[in-house]
Structure 1
């Protein structure tokens, strides 16, 4: 009987361990920097001055990431369906948006984004693993190096 109660307790607490594992990042985070680390060690803005963004991690394992260039140019026609090729190109490269579910490996300091949909269709139905750092109310992660050798870095501050 004692063994049965221990097993039952362990099974009941198992779902809570997953939540506790991600609880340190659960919440809403405002973007403070969207930089890239260049191969020569310099750090420059990746989305221009004053990028905007918001990241939300829910306790049940869902997330949404939105990062936008701060000084986006509006469509000259005022109609998103009548943009020029240059305007559409700018829209595509001046944002990074994706949502889905996530898991945290606190021991490895990684967040795995299980991407449902993204602004880049090639990322749909994929998993992206990011090394992260959490210092009090500041969360940051690095993206894998791009072909030019630069490493994007996202920096967020917890919204209170």
Structure 2
């Protein structure tokens, strides 16, 4: 009996310390922050003070992520095919969306997005690997740096 307790505690401790798996990401997540780390190390808002978004991870490995700036410029013509260059620019830059399949590497602490389609066409058909942290009902990931050195960070809360 005295050997069982140490074994149980060691096993329990290892279980509690296990990195997150894909199964733990399964579900629906509400965006709480879409920030960026600037090249000088300061953290700033990327999609405004109150961005809107959602991430959905299915048990069979599919996902979708949608991020939108709260304030978006409506088209004056009310016709999506008759926007001004400024309206089209704002529409594209006020969102970041993609969907496809995903895998989690619990040892490296990464999530690999196999992007089928994205709001930024250059991401279509690509794979992106991001470091992530799952702490209770908060999921966050850091994207690779942009060409200007900014590092986007997305933070989500599990929807119950």
- Place the TM-score, normalised by the shorter chain, in its bin: 0.7 to 0.9
Please name the residue that 2:3 is paired with. none
TM-score (norm 1): 0.86
**Distance in structure 1 (CA, Å) of the matches to 2:99 and 2:136:** 24
Secondary structure of 1:146 counterpart: coil
Report the CA distance between 1:125 and its aligned residue: 0.6
1:27 aligns with 2:27: yes
TM-score (norm 2): 0.86
Please name the residue that 1:141 is paired with. 141
Gap runs ≥5 in structure 1:
1-19
Deviations 1:92-130 (A, max 9, x none): 111000000000001101000000000011111110101
Report the CA distance between 1:41 and its aligned residue: 1.4
**Distance in structure 1 (CA, Å) of the matches to 2:51 and 2:21:** 30
**Distance in structure 2 (CA, Å) of the matches to 1:149 and 1:101:** 27
Across the aligned residues of Structure 1 and Structure 2, the Cα RMSD in angstroms comes to 1.0
**Distance in structure 1 (CA, Å) of the matches to 2:21 and 2:65:** 20
**Distance in structure 2 (CA, Å) of the matches to 1:21 and 1:157:** 17
**Distance in structure 2 (CA, Å) of the matches to 1:21 and 1:90:** 36
Q: Which runs of 4+ in 1 moved over 3 A?
A: none
Report the CA distance between 1:143 and its aligned residue: 0.6
**Distance in structure 2 (CA, Å) of the matches to 1:93 and 1:126:** 20
Report the CA distance between 1:21 and its aligned residue: 3.5
Following superposition of structure 1 onto structure 2, how do residues 8-87 of structure 1 map, counting pairs within 5 Å?
Answer: 21-87=21-87
User: What is the aligned length?
Assistant: 141
**Distance in structure 1 (CA, Å) of the matches to 2:126 and 2:41:** 29
